[in-house]
Amino acid sequence: MTFRPKFVTFDCHGTMIFFNMAGAARDHYSAQLSPEQMEAFIRDFSGYRLDEVLGAWKPYAEVVHNAVERTCKRHGIAFDPAVAAEIYNRVPGWGPHADVPAGLAKVARDIPLVALTNSMNAQIPHNIARLGAPIAHVLTAESAGAYKPHMRAFEYMFDTLGCGPEDIMHVSSSFRYDLMTAHDLGITNKIWVNRGHEPANPYYGYTEIPDISGLAAALGL
């Protein structure tokens, strides 16, 4: 790959940050569910979080609250708002995947890095500070007024950076939140970080890497 983008743009939670919603759910609900039921709970919790961000923007605490409530209802478990709040409050404490700091540092020497994150302005600095590499711009769903996978989140990024789809390389571990929308917006240069969240989908056109340690090579650095 010889394309040299003006910016390398990233999904944050899940791609760079170990977004441990599954672990948080297990901590609170595994005593009430069989292992098989717990795995189904985790899948549904993930699906409801996605569903919650597809509507009008609302604070991420409400996204988590509603997703926990809907998942509990589906599985016949009593919903406690304090549990949803505790899960939400864990997010700023989560750090990067082990491969991220060194992998980002290799790229940051040559190309500015941008985080496009489904996060709150007050929440994300704690995660970014733990990445161990300079992030030139941090763009949140709160500032955009839209969560990914909405196109408006990406359009906010283009407007803020003064660039277009042809100028960036977008990096994500998720098709549903990032790479499908990137494809639809004409971002032809995409990296899929295969962290096992979703199956491969070659239709969307990307370079696959197993983790961020492979990013510099994918960019020809």
Flag whether pLDDT at 2 surpasses 80.
no
Rg (CA), the chain: 17
pLDDT value at position 79?
A: 98
Q: What is the mean pLDDT of residues 94-116?
A: 97
Task: Tell me how far CA of residue 150 lies from CA of 4, 88, 125, 182, 200, in angstroms.
Answer: 26, 22, 22, 10, 21
8 Å CB contact between 168 and 6: yes
8 Å CB contact between 173 and 15: yes
pLDDT value at position 141?
A: 98
**What average pLDDT is seen over the chain?**
96
Q: Which residues in 182-201 are b (16+ Cβ under 10 Å) and which e? A: bbeeebebbbbbebebbeee
Flag whether pLDDT at 1 surpasses 90.
no
- Of the candidates 137, 88, 102, which has an alpha carbon nearest to the alpha carbon of residue 128? 137
Alpha helices in the chain (DSSP H): 21-29, 35-53, 60-75, 81-90, 100-108, 124-128, 141-144, 151-161, 180-184, 215-218
Band the pLDDT of 3: cuts 50, 70, 90: confident
Q: How large a percentage of the chain has pLDDT more than 70?
A: 99
Q: What is the pTM of this model?
A: 0.95
Band the pLDDT of 118: cuts 50, 70, 90: very high
Q: How large a percentage of the chain has pLDDT more than 90?
A: 98
Q: What is the mean pLDDT of residues 180-196?
A: 98
| Residue 137 bridge partners (DSSP) | 114
Flag whether pLDDT at 74 surpasses 60.
yes
Neighbour-count burial of 206, counting CB atoms closer than 10 A to its CB (0-12 exposed, 13-18 middle, 19+ buried)? buried
